[in-house]
Amino acid sequence: MQTNIQQLLEKRTFNESEIVTLLSVKGEEMKMLLDKALETKLKFLDNNVHLRGLIEYSNKCRKNCLYCGLRKDNNAVDRYEMTDNQVFQCIELAQKLNYGSVALQCGERQDKHFTDKIEYLVKEIKRRSQGTIGITLSCGEQSEQTYRRWFNAGAHRYLLRIETANEELYYKIHPKDSVHSFKKRMECIDTLLKTGYQTGTGVMIGLPFQTTEDLARDILFFQQKDVAMVGMGPFIPHPDTPLWQYRDLIPSKEERMSMTLKMIAVLRLVMPEINMVSATANQTIDDLGREKAVVAGANVIMPNLSPQENREEYSIYPDKACVHDTPEQCYNCLDIRMHTVSHKILYKEWGDSVAFTKRKQQNETTIKQ
């Protein structure tokens, strides 16, 4: 069996059943997979870690995803939207801490006040930082026109997880109504790619009803779409959501963590030059989760810049790591944590996806010829 895995690890492309085999490894074979992924990352991207200072802009959401604490019908949450000044203070903090990029994330809304506000904030962040701060948005599904406006305002990366590439599973974790549409989610990914964003997507790992085959197909989906970045993390059941009733069906914390590491490692082999986030959810279920994900192949971390008073209310899942840490504490802690696993944080840089940058250059060369 060991030789099979060794042989498999020498390949560059994998079919679904080979990915399932890699996602099923344990013990010594899992170590071989993780070692190969680290070797691949170091070869293509070095030991650099990029930062995205996370601004949890608002927890108001029009959706009712069955897994998320911010879902519209969860009345236990006090809803907030940060003021413009609070956002600008986060930017000042990002600059003080030498973070080259921020990610503005929030519940999904499509009303005019919201779409105008995001456009204004993006422009203002660019103006105030004299273009030095890179901006990632993660504000859900929008029309092509809205994505374009935000892109033209200066956002150049967008993160929209598909949550799962399996339509049947999608409807087990979302309500079946006109607001939640698998087809629309997929179309949004295509629109983001077409608009010119460095497009990121991803899935949750360890969902009830999810199989290893589903996860293998998620990896093939990322590859097929040729996305620039991926954020994957363990599913963490939230007591105020409908999926809580299935908590006994989900794998243990250890199993979810180990499957997350294997997903990251296999994807690093499949797409060596993309950006991959080590999600905060990793650290929530395992004290060393973020470091383990970086050693398995991730190269992006999202330290929280949000004001203390809002953090408890951005409760996607319970017991989120670092909720009580100040941004300054996060800064020191992350720097030390990355050093302990022989990685180095690149400050003052946008940290764009190498895969994206190379593809863009190739396309430009082809057009010129």
Q: Which residues bind ligand SF4 (CB under 6 A)?
A: 61, 63, 65, 68, 70-71, 107-108, 140
Taking residue 331's Cβ as centre, other Cβ atoms within 10 Å add up to: 22
Which residue in 33, 31, 39, 3 sits closest to 20, CA to CA?
Answer: 33
- Dihedral class, residue 226 (left if φ above 0, else alpha if ψ from -120 to 50, else beta): left
CB of 139 to ligand SAM, least distance (A): 6
* Cα distance between residue 335 and residue 142, in whole Å: 35
Per-residue interface string for the shown chain with ligand SAM, residues 195-214, x marking contact by CB under 6 A:
---------x----------
Hunting for tokens 């790591």 — which residue is that? 321
* Segment lying near ligand SAM (by CB under 6 A), choices 24-32, 104-112, 250-258, 299-307: 104-112
For 162-201, give one letter per residue: b (16+ CB within 10 A) or e: bbbbbeebbebbbeeeeebbbeebbebbebbbebebbbbb
Contacts of ligand SAM in 234-253 (CB under 6 A): 235-236, 238
Measured from the CB atom, is 70 or 296 closer to ligand SF4? 70
Rounded Cα–Cα distance for residues 265 and 297 (Å): 5
Cβ closest to ligand SF4, residue 202 vs residue 327: 202
Nearest approach, Cβ of residue 37 and ligand SF4 (Å)? 28
The answer to whether residue 107 forms part of the interface with ligand SAM (CB under 6 A) is yes
Q: From the list ligand SAM, ligand SF4, none, pick the one residue 71 interacts with, judged by a Cβ distance below 5 to 8 Å according to partner type.
A: ligand SF4
Piece of the chain touching ligand SAM by CB under 6 A; list 19-27, 66-74, 117-125, 331-339 = 66-74
Task: Give residue 113's Cα distance to chain centre.
Answer: 26
The nearer residue to ligand SAM, 312 or 364, going by C-beta atoms, is 312
Beta strands in 78-190 (DSSP E): 101-106, 134-138, 157-159
Quick one: tokens of 161?
């997880």
Q: How many CB atoms lie within 10 A of CB 110?
A: 13
Is 263 one of the binding residues for ligand SAM (CB under 6 A)?
Answer: no
User: Per-residue string for binding with ligand SAM, 119-138, x by CB under 6 A?
Assistant: -------------------x
Question: Which among ligand SAM, ligand SF4, none contacts residue 221 (Cβ within 5 to 8 A by kind)?
Answer: none
Q: What distance in Å separates the CA atoms of residue 214 and residue 205, rounded to the nearest whole number?
A: 10
Residues that bind ligand SAM (CB under 6 A): 67-68, 70, 105, 107-108, 138, 140, 160-161, 163, 204, 233, 235-236, 238, 281, 316-317
